[in-house]
Amino acid sequence: MPIYEYRCTACGAAKEHLQKMSDDPIAQCPACGSHDYHKQLSAAGFQLKGSGWYETDFKNGSSGGGHSCGNGSCGGGCA
């Protein structure tokens, strides 16, 4: 389940809520009870791991995985 950030424009309170994507937005501020509680736009919470993606990966459109040897037998050192 994603974590959504909310901020109250009435009192300035900010809080994160764990919600299903199908859940309705929370309408009432838990701090002051105001209905000026709005979902914020925030950065996605995912992390890419591993050696990463490079400009040359899949650039030529071949299915060789970005290796100039074409089969990956070099262990990735030929790219």
Segment 8-37, tens digit of pLDDT:
999 999 999 999 989 999 999 999 999 999
Q: What is the pTM of this model?
A: 0.53
Q: How far is CA 44 from CA 19, 27, 53, 62, in A?
A: 15, 22, 18, 31
Q: What percent of the chain has pLDDT over 70?
A: 57
What's the pLDDT at 69? 59
> Domain locations in the chain?
3-40
- Residue 42: pLDDT above 90? no
Structure tokens at 17: 């809520």
User: For residues 41 and 28, what is the distance between their CA atoms, to the nearest angstrom?
Assistant: 18
Cα within 13 Å of Cα(74), Cβ side: 12
Across 52-67, average pLDDT: 58
